[in-house]
Amino acid sequence: MIYDFKSYFCKVKESEGFAIDSLTKDDLSLFREVVTAQYRNVLSHNKASDNEKELSINKYNQTRLAKSNEHGKAWSKVNRILPQDSLKKLMKSDFFSALKSQVDWFQISDEENIGYPEVYFRLVRPSPYSDIGPLHCDAWFWELGHGEMPIVPFLVKRTKFWFSLYNQNNSTGFRYVSGSHKIKFNYIAEERDGFNKPFFDESFFQLDIEELNGEPGTFIVFNDNLLHGGYTTEIDTRVSCEFTLILKQN
């Protein structure tokens, strides 16, 4: 079995709170293809030169946009969500075909209310830029009203999938605290970018933070109460994609 989703979900519930695996070579190519297509579409809307658009996505940090004050606006989350035609292509991958065959009911969340499942990517420029997210639990965003769970006649739960598409030296840029999904951490809500978002000061805690190491294609499936975040890498732009899966609690 190429992908074993039942095994992933069991590990997500257990003591560590996560499972790690890798995309097949063909699936990695397809994930990269659809992400790169949307990436170049955003570059075009921001008047990138033909030479910049031909650069590999992991060389984004060499573009004018990456070095400008327009970077943040250009890469708002809505612009990083895959369009429906790209999503349809992605659903033909072995990864999603296996998911459909192994799970009897699931939804991918639509937290931005765009009208279809959200699969979105991230660009993180290398040091000295600081595009990374702080340690957090995804559940906190839901607690603060980011997204609505579906109304169905059975109990559901959320599980997150995060994929490294481009990285250097097996450094994915993803960090996490094993077992933290079983601990209740306090956070505060603060307004950022016009929304209430969680803030967690990790300096108050003694945390055993691990880094996810692996070649491009490495992915992690994790409990939405697992503490996790990003870290800055030194070479090129690292590229990842992610989505939240909603499935039956049992």
| Gap between the Cα atoms of 35 and 29, Å rounded | 10
What is the mean pLDDT of the segment spanning 162-190? 96
Q: pLDDT digit string (tens) for 83-127? A: 999 999 999 999 999 999 999 999 999 999 999 999 999 999 999
End-to-end Cα spacing for the chain? 22
Q: Provide the mean pLDDT of the chain.
A: 95
C-alpha pair distances (Å), 101 with each of 91, 105, 163: 12, 10, 21
Q: Which residue has the higher pLDDT, 193 or 97?
A: 97
The predicted structure's pLDDT at residue 133: 83
- Beta strands, E only, the chain: 18-22, 106-108, 120-124, 156-166, 171-176, 188-192, 195-199, 210-213, 218-223, 228-230, 238-248
| Gap between the Cα atoms of 239 and 250, Å rounded | 33
99 Cβ partners below 8 Å, 6+ apart? 3, 5, 106
Confidence label for 194 from pLDDT (cuts 50, 70 and 90): confident
Kindly tell me the burial class for residue 186, based on how many C-beta atoms sit within 10 Å of its own C-beta (0-12, 13-18, 19 or more). exposed
The predicted structure's pLDDT at residue 146: 85
Give the predicted TM-score (pTM) of the model.
0.97
Q: pLDDT digit string (tens) for 141-154? A: 999 988 899 999 99
Phi/psi zone of residue 113: left (φ > 0), alpha (ψ -120 to 50 degrees), beta? left
30 Cβ partners below 8 Å, 6+ apart? 89, 90, 92, 93
Confidence label for 59 from pLDDT (cuts 50, 70 and 90): very high
Place of tokens 């369009």: 83
The predicted structure's pLDDT at residue 74: 97
* For residue 193, pLDDT beyond 80: no
The predicted structure's pLDDT at residue 12: 97
The predicted structure's pLDDT at residue 196: 85
φ and ψ of 108, to 5 deg: -100, 135
The predicted structure's pLDDT at residue 195: 77
What is the mean pLDDT of the segment spanning 220-249? 96
The predicted structure's pLDDT at residue 167: 97
The predicted structure's pLDDT at residue 145: 87
Per-residue DSSP letters for 175-209?
EE-TTGGGS----EEEEETTEEEEE--GGGS----
* For residue 206, pLDDT beyond 80: yes
| Gap between the Cα atoms of 236 and 18, Å rounded | 27
Tokens encoding 106: 């699931």
- The DSSP code for 66 is G
Q: pLDDT digit string (tens) for 65-83? A: 999 999 999 999 999 999 9
What is the mean pLDDT of the segment spanning 167-183? 97
Q: pLDDT digit string (tens) for 10-55? A: 999 998 999 999 999 999 999 999 999 999 999 999 999 999 999 9
